[in-house]
Structure 1
Amino acid sequence: MDHGRHARRLLIGGWLAGVALIAAAATQSPLRAARWLPADRQAQALAQEPSECLTPAANAAEAQRIAIGRAAFRTPLLLGGQAARVGLSCSSCHRNGRGNPDFSFPGFSGPPGTADVTSSLMSSHRGDGVDNPTPIPDLSGPPQALKISRDPATRALENFIRGLIVEEFDGPEPSTATLDGLAIYVRALSPQACPAEPVQAIDLAHALSDARAAAVAAQSALAAKDAVTARLMVASARSALGRIDERYAGQALAADREGVREADQELAQIQLAIDSRRANTSLRITAWLAAMPRWTAALERDEAQSLFNAQRLATTAAN
């Protein structure tokens, strides 16, 4: 028997089964994150998330590195492979750098809040054919509860993150700046930095802030002549716009969605400009940032009519 071919068939079969389950879940909610949430937890889990426990940067250079890592953490394009196809990012399992007790991905989770890091569903490198999901850790938890050393001198965290991207999720090799940014972002997560409020609303302001921060991070990468990282940062900004777009569902908010999609199309053109190494790309990002108020004003006006409104969201989840 060709064991390699048999393993590939099992992988494809498992993946197709997972996709079928995800597609069924997707018909119940317009929000992508609902795909990996139990139906009875969607209303709450899609309305609020843990507050981010991020230690302030010591200086501007460190802030730029953290911003790159934070943006990479929030885009599925970092992980690539099957994860990117269904929209999973690091923040899907680690919401705001925390945990996710509600995470339940078909074929990848056991009980809610678990993930199988050696699942053949996501990885051709680490898949062991055994269903062995483990609890998702809170990256902002006490250091003694974390398995990987965060001592920069050992680079254990960098090696772990790279293995997670490239081997656990079959993703592309991260750029040096991306890997460095992810490590410094995770190191900046600390229980001592947690705000007084343990949870925060999932709202338009946070999503717009993520898009804006990712675009600025793209500019810092371009200034360092790092096109690969810059492109990923623009992808993260586009991911944030996608999270906004899906919340403005329905014909009544079609004009709002059109504004978001036009902004996204400009980011797509900026990605092409990065690929072509055009000299004015950073200026285009500056122009994109300056134009944000033109299309965000309508979003802010209509936010109460969108699925950022917890009551409307609960009604949608119940139907």
Structure 2
Amino acid sequence: MIWGHVAVSAASGLDATWQALLAAAAGDAARAARFGLALDAETGWQWRDATSGDAAGAALSALYLPFIQPLHPASAFRVFGHLGQSLDGCVATDSGDACFVTGEANIVHLHRMRALADAVIVGAGTVANDDPLLTTRLVPGPNAVRVVIDPNARLPGRHRLFQDGACPTLHCCRAACTNGPPLPGVGRLDLPDHDPDSGALGLDLHALCMRLSERGLRRLFVEGGGVTVSRFLRVGLLERLQVAVAPVLIGHGRPGVSLPGVDRLSEALRPASRVFRMGSDILYELDLTEAPSPAETRDQTLARVR
């Protein structure tokens, strides 16, 4: 499904919608109900009436409600990913500079996703190049647990998220890695590598998600960078992928999504999608749980052109 373009703004009329979403994310059904959001045993979180009475409130709800819906009993976790990229598909320059590809509205969106998540996950490259805090400074809401994937423990402890103590931080490394002592005040998760026969690289991301789930961290937001998000996508862990496209041309730079190539466009992944306008940026949300098979995509295309 291609969703219509809807502006997501920070208007004060959205405060009640946002507070309801925060309450639902925290599992506070009584507080959420006061804002009109009720938990149904069959359908999950549902609005009793139209949200905020305007398109902006409806867009806010439409974008974030899928992330906070109750998990299926058979699911241990839910993973959403996000990339901000240029029109020509770059998330950073060749030097690694990515501050900032997308505009202010998308940055606010990232802070909202952090506030709704149990954990926000980034790779070592993002920490090394951007030195992010990964906190919710721009919106009301709690900080998520920060999770840094650093297989070879190459990051020094001087980075801000290892120093500020704003929220718990986990440093995820290879179990066999002996590079330096654990970072002071930072939790350490030792993880196995992916099975080399799987074709995936780096740490076993399913094992990571399971370890986080065991800690009660089940709603996971992979914020970057391109390598990390692509690895989650390649091993089939992403439920939804958000790609924010900014009206900027970088030229040669670091790519966003990187997957094994296909020979024919009919073999390309074409998931169901929705579109949200965020200032001058366009955010595409891809529902990877409903992606049609290449054969279905080919048949649909042929049916349209014949």
TM-score tier by shorter-chain length is under 0.3
More helix by share: 1
TM-score (norm 2): 0.28
More strand by share: 2
TM-score (norm 1): 0.27
